[in-house]
Amino acid sequence: MGQFIDLKAADGTTFPAYVAEPAGKPKGGIVVVQEIFGVNTHIREVADGYAADGYLAVAPATFHRVQQNVELGYAEADMGAGFKLKQAVEALPAPGVLQDLQAAVDYAASKSGGKVGMVGYCWGGLLTWRAASALTGLSAAVPYYGGGMTTPEEAARQPKVPVLAHFGEQDQWIPLDSIEALKKAHPEIEVHVYPAHHGFNCNHRGAYDEASAKLARERTLAFFDKNLK
């Protein structure tokens, strides 16, 4: 359904982004932020899904500053490679990859003619949480099992837009007590915990939980419909 285009960040860096357009006039824009596996088949399918629901979807390649054309699977070797790439991006001088997300938000706004939301998964969930407090032109943010966002340092951020967060109660990377701490620190954000593991939204991996993924997506669409009007 979609295609890759090139976007340019404020520092002049050009990077690819997968863009999926709806059949009719977009209801708004949604920036889809990848996991540590690149803009792979799953992330492109997620973008296509939001386009099918009427949104212009943009999935920027957030590894591009450290390695181009990353498309990983979900085996242990892929996990290790993706984690190293994530560490390399996290080590970039500020604002690092956030300026690429800003360029994606700006593109989604200009191309859709409407408000822009952001949804991110795993590391992309963490980036979405950061974007909610750091970027301009964003109207809603939905982190899925954002690895690291429940740490005291990240939880201290103050989002400027409505946030809906999804977590799995069996997630070995995100302790339940840290989710409770996040909820106490941010009573304004909507938090849902599902009987599922980390990565429960991805139907390409063993952690996929169909019921949880379906419910989380319904809640996400309702959240975007409300905040991107």
pLDDT in tens, 80-106: 999 999 999 999 999 999 999 999 999
C-alpha to C-alpha distance for 213 and 192, rounded to whole angstroms: 12
From the list 88, 101, 89, the residue with the least C-alpha distance to 29 is 101
pLDDT value, residue 106: 98
User: Cα–Cα distance between 31 and 19 in angstroms, integer?
Assistant: 9
Question: In terms of residues, how long is the chain?
Answer: 229
Q: Which pLDDT score is estimated for 84?
A: 98
Helix (H) or strand (E) holding 164: strand 164-168
Residues with Cβ within 8 Å of 80's Cβ and at least 6 positions away in sequence, in order, are none
Provide the 10 A C-beta neighbour count for residue 35.
27
**CA-CA distance, 73 to 76, in Å (whole number)?**
9
Question: Residue 182 corresponds to which amino acid?
Answer: L
Q: Which of these is catalytic: 64, 171, 197, 202? A: 171
Catalytic residue among 42, 64, 198, 209: 198
Tell me the β-bridge partners of 120.
33, 143
- Flag residues of the chain having pLDDT under 50: none
Which of 122, 166, 197, 209 is labelled catalytic? 122
Q: Is 204 part of the annotated catalytic residue set? A: no
Residue 197 CA to its chain's centroid (Å) = 17
* Known active-site residue 198: yes
Cα 193 off chain centre by: 17
Q: In the annotation, is 122 catalytic?
A: yes
The pLDDT value given to residue 1: 72
> DSSP secondary structure string, the chain?
--EEEEEE-TTS-EEEEEEE--SSS-S-EEEEE--TTBS-HHHHHHHHHHHHTT-EEEEE-TTTTT-SS-B--SSHHHHHHHHHHHHHHHTSPTTTTHHHHHHHHHHHHHHHSS-EEEEEETHHHHHHHHHHHH-SS--EEEEES-TTTTSHHHHT---SS-BEEEEETT-SSS-HHHHHHHHHH-TTSEEEEESS-TTTT-TTSTT--HHHHHHHHHHHHHHHHHH--
At 223 the pLDDT is: 98
Rounded to two decimals, what is the model's pTM? Answer: 0.98
